[in-house]
Each structure stands twice: as structure tokens, then as C-alpha cells.
Amino acid sequence: MALFQKISQLKEFVEEVIRILYYYRGRAVFSFSGVALGILSICIIVTTIDGANKKAQEIFEMLGPDSIMIFGVGEKQRAARIRTSTLKVEDADLIARVEGIYDLMRVYSARNVMMRYRDRNWQTLVIGSTTNYFDSLAWKFQTGVTYTAEDYANAGAVCVIGARVYDELFKDEDPLGKTILVGKLPTRVIGVLEERGGSFGGPHVDDRIIMPLTTVTSRIVNEKRYLSLVRVKTNRDLDRTIEDIRITLRQSHGLQGSLDDDFTLRSSKDILAFVTVISGSLLLFLGTAAVVALVVSGFVLANLFYLNIQERKKDIGIRRAYGATRKGILLSFLFESVLITFIGGVAGILLSVVLGSTFENLFDIPMMFSLKVVVFALFFSFLTGVLSGLKPALTASRIEPIEAIRG
């Protein structure tokens, strides 16, 4: 019987709080909107950082811990957005002779090449590479096969397309054996890659086609002297191998003394380190902004509660006169505060799901929602409600009935 009485009292208590919030709904909406904005910021931060770290780990696993990438552009040229490569075909031959190198992949890439299939057009990244491209990147096929050594030797007009190119040009049609225009070259589709997703700051990883290097350099761009990228694997210490490659390329390019490298060396470990730095910077900058938003919304909420207390002073006095305890008044006001921030927290979480999915689709920003995000957001909502509502609730609980009724 006592349990049912307590449940009934709790129900009446909740209904009374909801009735009060509805009466002051304008202020309540204003308050939880600020909380929702802060929680939205926190959710976007956490999901973006988690997604970026997950994508970096996937790239690291894809490349392998023993991988080194050599780009034909130096740091200064990269900063100035100069894309003219200095990495010569002969450089790849020299790199292959460096001690410890056991796998070498040559790449030439051409951006924004127009594709056409029937009445459908699509601009994409064209990759020309050696026959070990897919094995080196552990990239599996949805359907079809890779090009052969014969295709490579004869500059065959064949290609493997990424998942996004397939969606844009073929939709649900079987692409195998179909001919598409790559630039002006009629090219037969022989394979479709599995979807990997994400861009990680560059072209979308699935928005590309891959062809024999010889085909791209002789029949698409007419560039046989230079490469965009060389990727190698080593069974020696990474740092020693990188230094040996640097010495080899500086000698090949005639770089002496203090002259800067006109190429860039990156290991797969560098990617993880880079993402860690970026994630830390994002967390610091956006995290500070989110905390400020929550502090401001909490401050506004506290001031609104003080205003409510002044307006409801007589009502508080009457409730005290009819037997309401100080503890009951305190819990009532505190519950109002927590309920407002909880509603704001839930709204912020829902908004982050919608906006996060939109950002991911529009800008290829990797997002990763998890239970951790929800728990983290609701905890901050609860904490904001308690901290912003505690002092006003204490003030309300200390109001004497007679003074309140007299006004």
C-alpha cells in the first residue's frame, strides 16, 4: 500500500512540474534550446573525432605498418598548391634498389577526368598503376577482375571502377564488359571495387577508376616521364629506409646542401600521428566552444529560475503553508531544471544524428555514432541541469511561508 502511495505522489509531483513548465513554456523552450545547441556541438565533436580515428586506423591497416609513400611534390610546393610532380620514372627504379624494399607500386593520377556512359557523365579521379595496386592496398572486388600483365604491357583500354563511379554511371546495371569513355578513350569495364567510404580530406576514396599505368600515361594524359606517387614496403626499419630513399632522391634530383626536398616521404605511421594531432586540436577548439555554450545556457537557465521564483513566491508560500517541506520545494525546482536540460539533451542528440548524416553525405566527413556519444551527452545534460538549478532551488526552499504570502 505504501508503495502505491509513493508512486501516486511521484506521479502528482511530475504532473505538477510539467504543468508549471507548460505555463512558462516560452522560457522553457528558450532554455532547452541553448542546452540542445551545446549538446549538439559535443555530439558532433565526439562522432567526428571517433570517425576520423576509425578511418585513420582503417587506412593504416590497409597500407600496412611497413609502408612508405613517396609523393612527387615537396612540402613548400604542397603548401602553395603546386601539383607538378618531380618524381621521375627512373626514380622508381632507383628506389626499388634501396635495401629492404620488397614491394613497389607506381602511380600516376589525373583529377577531374570526364567519364561518359550513354547519356550519363561523371568527373572522377583516374589512377594509373602497376598490376599490384589492389593486392598492395588489400582492396577486394564486388565483381570482376583486375587487369593483367598483358593489359599493362600493351596499354590496354580496360578499367576497374570504384563503388561511387558505379552508382553514378550504372546504378543497378551490370557494368562488366560495358564500354565507357574515359576522357576520349573508349574503355572496357572489367571490375568493380568494394565500397570503402570516406574521403579523409581528399577525393572520395570510392570516386575513382583504376587503369594500367601505361594506358593512363600514354593514352589519357600523354605523360611518360613523371609519376604522382610511389608506394613501397620494406622489411627494414622504417626510419632507416626513409632516410636511404631521401638520400637516393636528393642525389637523383641534384639537391645539395640546404636545398629543400622537392618530394615528400610519408610512412603509414605518419597518418596515425597526423590524425591524432588534428583530433586533439579539434577536441580542444570545438570542445571549448561546446563547454562555453553549455555554461552560457546554464547561466541563462539559472537566471530564468531566479525570475520564476520571484514570480511564484506567493505560490511557494501557499505550498509551504499546506505542508510542503523545504526538501520537496528544492526537489521540485531541481527536477524542473534537470527536465529542461534533459529535453534539450535529447533534442541535441537527435539533431546531431540528422546533421551528422547530412555532413557525412555532403562533405564525406567520417562520423561514428555510438552508445558512448548518447551516454556522454545525457550526462552533460544532467550535470548542466543540476549545476544551474541547484542554487535557485535552494533559494526557493528557504522562502518562509508567511513572508511569501504577504509578498
- Give per-residue pLDDT as tens, 208-234: 999 999 999 999 998 888 999 999 999
Q: Give CA–CA dist 148/151, Å, rounded.
A: 5
Q: Is the pLDDT of residue 352 over 70?
A: yes
Instruction: Give the model's pLDDT for residue 227.
Output: 93
Question: Which residues share a beta bridge with 141?
Answer: 193
Q: Quote the pLDDT of residue 330.
A: 84
Per-residue cell: 160:
576497374
The better pLDDT of the pair 109, 325 is held by 109
pLDDT of residue 256: 87
Residue 174: partners with Cβ closer than 8 Å, 6 or more residues away? none
Give, for 322, the enclosing helix (H) or strand (E). none
Smallest CA-to-CA distance from 208 within 169, 175, 163 is with 163
pLDDT(8) > 80: no
C-alpha closest to that of 405 among 334, 322, 336, 335: 322
What's residue 122's pLDDT? 95
Q: Residue 285: exposed, middle, or buried by beta-carbon count in 10 A (0-12, 13-18, 19+)?
A: exposed
pLDDT average, residue stretch 104-108:
94
Higher pLDDT, 131 or 358: 131
Distance between CA atoms of residues 407 and 393, nearest Å: 19
Q: Which is more confidently placed, 399 or 256?
A: 256
pLDDT for residue 269: 79
Residue 361's pLDDT is 66
Instruction: Decide if pLDDT at 98 tops 80.
Output: yes
pLDDT per residue over 20-52, tens digit each?
Answer: 556 656 666 766 677 787 788 778 777 877 777
pLDDT of residue 194: 93
**Strand 158-161 vs strand 185-193: parallel, antiparallel, or unpaired?**
parallel
Confidence (pLDDT) at 43: 81
Q: What is the DSSP string of 142-199?
A: EEE-PPPHHHHHTT-SEEEE-HHHHHHHTTTS--TT-EEEETTEEEEEEEEEPP----
pLDDT at residue 406 above 90? no
Task: Kindly tell me if the per-residue pLDDT of 129 is higher than 90.
Answer: yes
pLDDT at 350 over 70: yes
The predicted pLDDT at position 3 comes to 55
**CA neighbor of 226 nearest in space, from 238, 216, 241, 212:** 216
Query: Which H/E stretch holds residue 232?
Result: strand 229-234
Mean pLDDT value of segment 263-279:
77
Across 168-180, average pLDDT: 93
Across the range 113-127, mean pLDDT stands at 94
Size of the chain in residues: 407
3-state secondary structure of 34: helix
Q: What share of the chain is helix, strand, coil (3-state, %, to 5)?
A: 60, 20, 25
What is residue 45's predicted lDDT score, i.e. its pLDDT?
Answer: 76
Are residues 110 and 216 in contact, defined by beta-carbon separation less than 8 angstroms? yes
Q: What gap in Å lies between CA 227 and CA 210, rounded to an integer?
A: 15
Which residue in 187, 184, 206, 181 sits closest to 195, CA to CA?
206
pLDDT of residue 405: 62
Residue 200 has pLDDT above 70, yes or no: no
Q: How confident is the model at residue 331 (pLDDT cuts 50, 70, 90)?
A: confident
Give 6's Cβ-side CA count (13 Å radius): 3
pLDDT tens per residue across span 276-320:
776 677 667 766 776 777 777 777 777 777 777 777 777 777 777
Give the pLDDT score at 80: 61
- Smallest Cα–Cα separation from 169: which of 139, 141, 208, 211? 208
Mean pLDDT, residues 103-121: 93
Answer yes or no: is pLDDT of 181 > 90. Answer: yes
Asked whether the predicted pLDDT for residue 77 surpasses 90, the reply is: no
Q: Considering only 118-127, 139-148, 364-373, which range has the smallest mean pLDDT?
A: 364-373
> What whole-number distance in Å separates Cα of residue 105 and Cα of residue 133?
6
Could you tell me the three cell numbers for 124? 572522377
Question: Measured between alpha carbons, how far is 267 from 392 in angstroms, rounded to an integer?
Answer: 57
